[in-house]
């Protein structure tokens, strides 16, 4: 229910206002505590020994050398894991420490605790591990076709899922097909993995301060590995320096707790950048083939597709990423007939899991290339072919699910098309060489540079799917006109801490909101992922505030002989719409506390059946992107000049935050399009550093132009859709389409490399 109207003159701090972050001043002054800044008296450092091989049998581990290093207090291996030996978000197949076989470069084998990071390093060097090196499985197709021996007792296929819908025989008069490939992208958050574990006296429990996306899920997995009850493990959110999916899985959590419990001392662990590249899951590399059948007008008749997601050594969320990918194969377009086959498989490459866009980035790159091919084949403008097929509310997905969400696809496309193109010529009005492809290298000759324009449109599911009971919890207390809000929602930079205050102020009519510590002393919030926290935790805070407000209204009504149903909040007052009585909220709550907890669940979803049919998702958001690029076709260099976007957001609860999410999401989409890839050769990682893994800098980032479509989403508690992922999903294909437009080549792989442009 939406009863808090948004208008241009929104009261400061309320919904719809560009309220500033409550942690902003601490962050600009360097006093905000990130998880890596936390320390304690008598603290030890922890460090991890990792496998140098993608696939090898462990013959022998000799840790005796580590004990000879001055300052070493603990050395642990798989033998020291008291509880279950493996963890994982969906399937628990990943060992805390490898004991018999290592399955990827960087897999943990042992850990140490010592009084100085250098002592840790020396201790790790002194551990002897004898390996029998095995031939790794690095080609995901060999996992699909079963031609490689099982590299794990659970086999090499995480999941296979088909989607079969409608007429399987339909052939279009127009047929376009293509094969596409995406490299492995890293989330590359800046705040490296870090944690501080403090053991309880006598080892009765442990408190872990950690940068994560989902405190309660971490706790469940940690407690199981420690052989403890959930209550013995308390998690507190350490300041999080970005996440983007990479903190959804366990990395150093169990190791840090084990070392602290073993030494009865606080232990800090902090990954190096190289270790971070190896120590968290990445975006799945993916190979996709698609064949689109259409009539002569360019209307889609059938989509055929095959997806192979390389999940790397352990399951993580591969099975969910697969389903997200294949169920979005049609894109934001009407299509009644489909045949899709998808695999997520195990290899000896780095494990993959969640990253912003979660499987849909892969699907969108392929379906948008196909839509451009279709436009060319029927002689239509790329936008016209998309408009003719644009999905609307009430259309069905290829899973048979009816899209009940607001689906303003045609409107997004029209509003994007109406945006003016950048006025700047190649190199800018002042012909600044920095604005040419290659920038500071000053290599491009302006006469050779060609400009291209590309478009892409996306659909992205919001929140969790496939029958998962997805919920978030919030507790709100109101006393003396001050609201205190408690939740376990991981603030990773996205700004939920800002939004929570806005909700409480709007619903309760207070100016002062105190945010309690983010920890496991309240119910789960679910993960900060899947564009879900505005909807889910926003819904929880809103729900708890409404319960508190009801109690306050009841009390005011009783004291003043009013009907509580006639009471509303205006500004900071309780107002009786019947008698006109006005009372400050601080007065109405003087000397009394209301305390309510609320869980918000989204509508239940279902599993897919064997034909990939079922209402597996709950809601969707849409976005459209237009990219303008300058390309030097001889040097293979690209300058992304501008990305314009129109995004379906439901309702703008904080316009400034939305701008930040959209610009940041586009940066990651541009990165995948033209530079970001973890390169592995035969399972060995070639570029695990910021020197070699390229990230967009100030100079690489294009201008961003943003249009918002506000059509409140009836299903959403605040009318607002999540905004974090769509910018990442369709910006990548828009940039690649623009490069194709500039040079007239196919470009079927991202990131687009200079060699693809020159020789492709």
Partner 1 sequence: MSEPSNLVYTLHVNGHASDVRDAWLGESLLYVLRERLGLMGSKGACEQGECGSCSVLVDGELVCSCLVLAAGAVGQQIITIEGVAPAGAPSDVQQAFVDAGAVQCGFCTPGLIMATHSLLERSPEPTEYEIREELSGNICRCTGYGRIIEAVQRVAVARRGAQ
* Residue whose entry in the numeric block shows the structure tokens 């590309």: 454
Phi, psi of 526 (to 5 degrees): 70, -175
Least distance to ligand FES, CB of residue 493, Å: 5
Task: Using CB positions, name the residue nearest to ligand FES.
Answer: 190
Phi, psi of 325 (to 5 degrees): -65, -55
* Cβ neighbour number for residue 572 with a 10 Å cutoff: 16
Nearer to ligand FES, 342 or 493 (CB): 493
Q: Does the footprint of partner 1 cover residue 357 (CB under 8 A)?
A: no
β-bridge pairing 128-133 and 56-62: antiparallel
Least distance to partner 1, CB of residue 670, Å: 8
Q: Does the footprint of partner 1 cover residue 28 (CB under 8 A)?
A: yes
Nearest CA-CA partner of 126 in 58, 46, 63: 63
Integer CA distances (angstroms), 436 to 431, 651, 695, 705, in order: 8, 38, 18, 20
Least distance to partner 1, CB of residue 194, Å: 10
CB 73 within 8 Å of CB 111: no
Nearer to ligand FES, 298 or 702 (CB): 702
Q: Does the footprint of partner 1 cover residue 191 (CB under 8 A)?
A: yes
Q: Which is it for the CA torsion 648, 654, 658, 661, positive or negative?
A: negative
* Cβ neighbour number for residue 566 with a 10 Å cutoff: 14
Least distance to ligand FES, CB of residue 123, Å: 24
Nearest CA-CA partner of 501 in 23, 7, 27: 23
751 preceded by a cis bond (ω within 30 of 0): yes
Structure tokens that stand for 260 in this block: 């602290």
Nearer to ligand FES, 128 or 190 (CB): 190
* Cβ neighbour number for residue 72 with a 10 Å cutoff: 22
Q: Which does residue 59 bind out of partner 1, ligand FES, none, counting CB within 5 to 8 angstroms by kind?
A: none
Angle at 718 between CA 715 and CA 723, to 5 degrees: 85
Nearest CA-CA partner of 552 in 576, 517, 532, 535: 576
Q: Which does residue 244 bind out of ligand FES, partner 1, none, counting CB within 5 to 8 angstroms by kind?
A: partner 1
What's the CA gap between 372 and 374, in Å, rounded?
5
β-bridge pairing 72-76 and 619-632: unpaired
Alpha helices in 194-247 (DSSP H): 215-226
Q: Which of residues 646-665 bind partner 1 (CB under 8 A)?
A: 656-657, 659-660, 662-665
List of residues contacting ligand FES (CB under 6 A): 190, 242, 493
Q: Which does residue 32 bind out of partner 1, ligand FES, none, counting CB within 5 to 8 angstroms by kind?
A: partner 1
Q: Which of 89, 196, 492, 752 binds partner 1 (CB under 8 A)?
A: 492
Phi, psi of 611 (to 5 degrees): -100, 15
Site string for partner 1, 697-726 (x = CB under 8 A): xxx-x-xx----------------------
Nearer to partner 1, 64 or 689 (CB): 689
Least distance to partner 1, CB of residue 542, Å: 23
Q: How many CA atoms lie within 13 A of 513 on its CB side?
A: 28
Judged by CB under 8 A, the stretch of 237-245, 247-255, 293-301, 442-450 that binds partner 1 is 237-245
Nearer to partner 1, 265 or 435 (CB): 435
Q: Which of 86, 92, 99, 272 binds partner 1 (CB under 8 A)?
A: 272
Q: Which does residue 33 bind out of ligand FES, partner 1, none, counting CB within 5 to 8 angstroms by kind?
A: partner 1
Least distance to partner 1, CB of residue 114, Å: 12
Least distance to partner 1, CB of residue 660, Å: 5
Q: Which of 53, 219, 435, 626 binds partner 1 (CB under 8 A)?
A: 435
What's the CA gap between 300 and 247, in Å, rounded?
39
Nearer to partner 1, 34 or 468 (CB): 34
* Cβ neighbour number for residue 12 with a 10 Å cutoff: 11
* Cβ neighbour number for residue 41 with a 10 Å cutoff: 6
Judged by CB under 8 A, the stretch of 196-204, 431-439, 572-580, 752-760 that binds partner 1 is 431-439
Angle at 329 between CA 323 and CA 330, to 5 degrees: 140
β-bridge pairing 471-479 and 593-601: antiparallel
Least distance to ligand FES, CB of residue 12, Å: 23
Least distance to partner 1, CB of residue 666, Å: 6
Q: Does the footprint of partner 1 cover residue 608 (CB under 8 A)?
A: no
Integer CA distances (angstroms), 654 to 285, 485, 502, 658, in order: 34, 19, 9, 6
Least distance to partner 1, CB of residue 31, Å: 6
Nearer to ligand FES, 156 or 529 (CB): 529
Nearer to ligand FES, 312 or 493 (CB): 493
Q: Does the footprint of partner 1 cover residue 434 (CB under 8 A)?
A: yes
Binding site for partner 1 (CB under 8 A): 18, 20-21, 23-34, 36-37, 70, 116-118, 122, 187-192, 239-242, 244, 272-273, 428, 432, 434-435, 440, 492-495, 656-657, 659-660, 662-668, 689-691, 695-699, 701, 703-704
């Amino acid at each position: 229910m939406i009863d808090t109207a948004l208008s241009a003159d929104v009261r400061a701090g309320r919904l719809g206002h560009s309220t500033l972050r409550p942690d902003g001043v601490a962050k600009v002054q360097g006093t905000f505590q990130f998880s890596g800044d936390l320390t304690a008296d008598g603290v030890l450092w922890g460090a991890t020994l990792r496998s140098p091989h993608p696939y090898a049998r462990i013959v022998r581990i000799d840790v005796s050398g580590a004990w000879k290093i001055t300052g070493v207090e603990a050395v642990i291996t798989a033998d020291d894991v008291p509880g279950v030996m493996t963890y994982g978000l969906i399937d628990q197949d990943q060992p805390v420490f490898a004991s018999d076989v290592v399955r990827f470069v960087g897999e943990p084998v042992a850990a140490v605790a010592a009084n100085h990071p250098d002592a840790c390093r020396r201790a790790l060097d002194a551990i002897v591990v004898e390996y029998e090196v095995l031939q790794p499985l690095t080609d995901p197709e060999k996992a699909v076709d079963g031609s490689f021996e099982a590299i794990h007792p659970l086999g090499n296929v995480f999941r296979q899922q088909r989607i079969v819908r409608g007429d399987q025989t339909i052939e279009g008069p127009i047929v376009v097909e293509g094969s596409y490939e995406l490299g492995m992208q890293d989330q590359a958050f800046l705040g490296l993995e870090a944690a501080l574990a403090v053991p309880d006296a006598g080892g009765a429990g442990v408190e872990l301060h950690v940068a994560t996306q989902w405190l309660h899920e971490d706790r469940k997995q940690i407690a199981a590995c420690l052989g403890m009850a959930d209550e013995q493990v308390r998690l507190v959110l350490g300041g999080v320096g970005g996440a983007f999916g990479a903190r959804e899985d366990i990395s150093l959590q169990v190791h840090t707790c084990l070392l602290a419990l073993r030494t009865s001392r606080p232990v800090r662990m902090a990954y190096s950048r190289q270790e971070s590249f190896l120590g968290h899951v990445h975006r799945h590399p993916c190979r996709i083939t698609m064949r689109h059948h259409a009539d002569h007008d360019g209307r889609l008749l059938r989509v055929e597709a095959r997806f192979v997601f390389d999940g790397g050594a352990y399951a993580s969320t591969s099975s969910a990423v697969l389903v997200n990918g294949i169920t979005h194969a049609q894109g934001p377009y009407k299509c009644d007939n489909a045949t899709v086959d998808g695999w997520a498989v195990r290899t000896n490459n780095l494990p993959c899991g969640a990253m912003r866009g979660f499987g849909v980035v892969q699907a969108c790159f392929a379906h948008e290339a196909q839509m451009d091919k279709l436009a060319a084949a029927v002689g239509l403008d790329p936008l016209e072919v998309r408009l003719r097929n644009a999905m609307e509310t009430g259309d069905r997905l290829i899973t048979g699910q009816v899209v009940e969400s607001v689906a303003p696809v045609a409107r997004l496309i029209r509003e994007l098309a109406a945006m003016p193109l950048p006025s700047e010529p190649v190199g800018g009005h002042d012909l600044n060489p920095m604005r040419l492809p290659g920038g500071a290298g000053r290599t491009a000759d302006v006469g050779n540079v060609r400009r291209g324009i590309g478009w892409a449109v996306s659909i992205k599911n919001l929140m969790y799917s496939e029958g998962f009971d997805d919920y978030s919890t919030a507790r709100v207390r109101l006393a003396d006109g001050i609201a205190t809000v408690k939740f376990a929602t991981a603030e990773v930079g996205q700004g939920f801490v800002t939004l929570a205050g806005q909700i409480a102020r709007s619903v309760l009519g207070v100016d002062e909101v105190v945010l309690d510590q983010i920890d496991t002393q309240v119910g789960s919030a679910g993960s900060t992922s899947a564009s879900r926290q505005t909807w889910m935790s926003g819904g929880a805070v809103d729900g708890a505030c409404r319960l508190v407000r009801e109690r306050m209204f009841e009390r005011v009504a009783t004291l003043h002989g009013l009907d509580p149903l006639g009471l509303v909040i205006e500004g900071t007052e309780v107002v009786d719409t019947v008698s006109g009585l006005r009372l400050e909220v601080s007065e109405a709550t003087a000397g009394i506390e209301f305390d309510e907890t609320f869980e918000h669940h989204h509508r239940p979803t279902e599993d897919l059946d064997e034909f990939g049919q079922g209402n597996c998702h709950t809601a969707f958001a849409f976005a459209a992107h237009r990219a303008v690029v300058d390309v030097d076709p001889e040097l293979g260099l690209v300058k992304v000049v501008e990305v314009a976007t129109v995004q379906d957001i439901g309702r703008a609860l904080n316009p400034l935050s939305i701008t930040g999410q959209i610009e940041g999401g586009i940066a990651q989409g541009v990165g995948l399009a033209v530079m970001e890839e973890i390169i592995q050769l035969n399972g060995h990682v070639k570029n695990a550093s910021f020197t070699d893994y390229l990230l967009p800098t100030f100079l690489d980032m294009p201008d961003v132009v943003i249009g918002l479509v506000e059509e409140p989403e009836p299903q959403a508690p605040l009318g607002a859709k999540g905004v974090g992922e769509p910018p990442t999903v369709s910006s990548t294909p828009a940039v690649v389409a623009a490069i194709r437009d500039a040079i007239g080549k196919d470009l079927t792989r991202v990131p687009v490399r200079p060699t693809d442009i020159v020789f492709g």
